[in-house]
Copies of this chain bind each other. A is one copy, B any other.
Amino acid sequence: MPAYATNMRFKFPIVALSLEIITIILYGVFVVYDDGKSKGHGHGHAAPSNETKHVEPMTLYPMFQDVHVMIFIGFGFLMTFLKRYGFSSVGVNLLLAAFGLQWGLLMQGIWDLDDGKIKINISKMINADFSTATVLISFGAVLGKTSPVQLLIMTILEITIFAINEHLVVEILGVSDVGASMTIHAFGAYFGLAAARVLYRQGLRNGHENDGSVYHSDLFAMIGTVFLWMFWPSFNSAIAEPGIPQLTAVINTYLSLAACVLSAYAISSLVEHKGKLDMVHIQNATLAGGVAVGTCADMNIGPFGAMLIGLVAGTISTVGFKFLSPILASNLGIQDTCGVHNLHGMPGILGGLAGIVAVALGKKAGHTAAMQAAGLASSLGFGLVGGALTGLIMKLPFWGQPPDQNCFDDSLYWEVPEEEEENEESLAHADHSKNKAEA
């Protein structure tokens, strides 16, 4: 691929502006404010309520803001761990999520028109934010190896496919997935992994010098980790039925995450050299408990049940980072930059399985284990097939994909400050010593 193909001038502005203008036109045609008289509020992953009811329109707003922080700070900073890719991580995260939420509101709203219109309210905004989470998860799998144009294309395709699968799973199959272990986490992870497989790079099979962290980039990533960890109870409960089910979702997520921290730290120390903790595990595996408890967050699984799920999730996630990711990369050609298979893939499947068991045990009336299993299978299938097809489209040679040697490097798509001041000073010292030496 010739180097100039990565020049984004024209290519990127045309794609970005075209998508935005098309979206604004569609909003002009289809989207209106919710006047409080729609056929049902709080509609989303939760079981639909058919009766017309009055809800104070701002009730969910604090929950929405928590989810908003997870999407923009949480996902954005979690990916800043790479030493030379922080601008792209937090900056492209903002770009994709800002476009994705607009597109997601349209794609999800299509299935639920009211007088031919999508009526926007806080609940729909939460779901729109949710739809972007799938893209940000997949982004983690291809991080550092894709251009902004490729990623905008992924955004529009992935959210469209997500909305189809979610409608099928939640509305048609009637699956319970309040925290979206299956429809967001497993879907997003396997979508990204399939795309990463299609975009496999032979040239990176021995790693890349920029595919690693420095001390301060690991600290920036912890900002993302901790905000995701703290607000995950809001993610899993935002669209639960108000009252006790919502409280249950908060409590289960809080406890699962707390237990997950202990197993992630313990296993990290157990598998690492001299019992040291590994920042990759701490940044990611501590969150697996939030993913895995998602499907049954609003079910009466008991506080200790939630903690057991978290304990197992933290364990398999850490083990996955240590032992499975290298195998996926070397044997299956899946180069998963952020290890989304360990944070969202396996814990998402675990969440789906836990949901099947919980429903089979009668923990949620009106649902069946078979349908829960069908929901998991559907999410995995749509993810894998959708991701592979999307990867093929992303692979087309005119989207400005970076050459191998420029992977994981902001400077291909960003103006980067010339030199760290420290370098300038040390350069000065080095020059000084050089001069002395020469003198």
A contact residues vs B (CB 8 Å cutoff):
7-13, 16-17, 19-21, 23-25, 27-28, 31-36, 56-58, 61-62, 65-66, 68-69, 72-73, 76-77, 80, 83-84, 86-87, 90-91, 94-95, 98-99, 101-102, 120-122, 125, 148, 212-216, 218-220, 222-223, 226-227, 229-231, 234, 242-244, 246-248, 250-251, 254-255, 257-259, 261-263, 265-267, 269-270, 272-279, 282, 286, 300, 302-304, 307-308, 311, 413-417, 419-423, 425-427, 429-434, 436-438
Contacts and interface: CB of A to CB of B under 8 A. Distances in A.
Contacts of A216: 86, 216, 220, 420
Nearest to A56: B243
Contact of A16 (B28, B121, B262): B262
A417 B214 contact: yes
Given A212-B417, A270-B9, A24 B277 contact: no
Contact of A99 (B229, B258, B434): B258
A90 to B, nearest CB: 5
Given A12-B265, A94-B286, A423-B429, 12 more contacts: A8-B277, A35-B244, A73-B223, A76-B222, A87-B218, A91-B222, A102-B258, A120-B303, A215-B417, A216-B216, A277-B415, A430-B430
Contact of A226 (B83, B90, B246, B270): B90
A302 B269 contact: no
A258 B20 CA distance: 9
A308 B99 contact: no
A426 to B, nearest CB: 4
Contacts of A246: 57-58
23 contacts: A10-B270, A10-B275, A12-B275, A13-B266, A20-B311, A24-B307, A25-B304, A33-B251, A36-B244, A61-B62, A61-B250, A68-B230, A69-B230, A72-B226, A83-B417, A83-B421, A86-B218, A87-B279, A94-B261, A213-B417, A215-B417, A223-B223, A272-B415
A13 B84 CA distance: 33
A276 B8 contact: yes
Contact of A94 (B212, B229, B417): B229
Contacts of A27: 255, 303-304, 307
A263 B17 contact: yes
Interface of A, secondary structure class, is: helix
* This chain's copy number in the assembly: 3
Contacts of A87: 218-219, 277, 279, 282
Contact of A434 (B19, B261, B433): B433
Contact of A422 (B69, B90, B247, B422): B422
Nearest to A103: B258
Given A33-B248, A215-B416, A426-B430, A266 B17 contact: yes
B226 A304 contact: no
Contacts of A254: 125
Contacts of A83: 417, 421
A33 to B, nearest CB: 6
Contacts of A21: 311
Nearest to A16: B266
A416 B94 CA distance: 29
A277 B65 contact: no
Contacts of A91: 222, 277, 279, 282
A66 B69 CA distance: 11
A269 B434 contact: no
Contacts of A416: 215
Contacts of A31: 303-304
Contacts of A28: 302, 304
Contacts of A69: 230
Contacts of A9: 269-270, 272, 274-275
Given A125-B251, A414-B279, A226 B262 contact: no
Nearest to A20: B262
Contacts of A427: 426, 429
A417 B218 contact: yes
Contacts of A273: 415
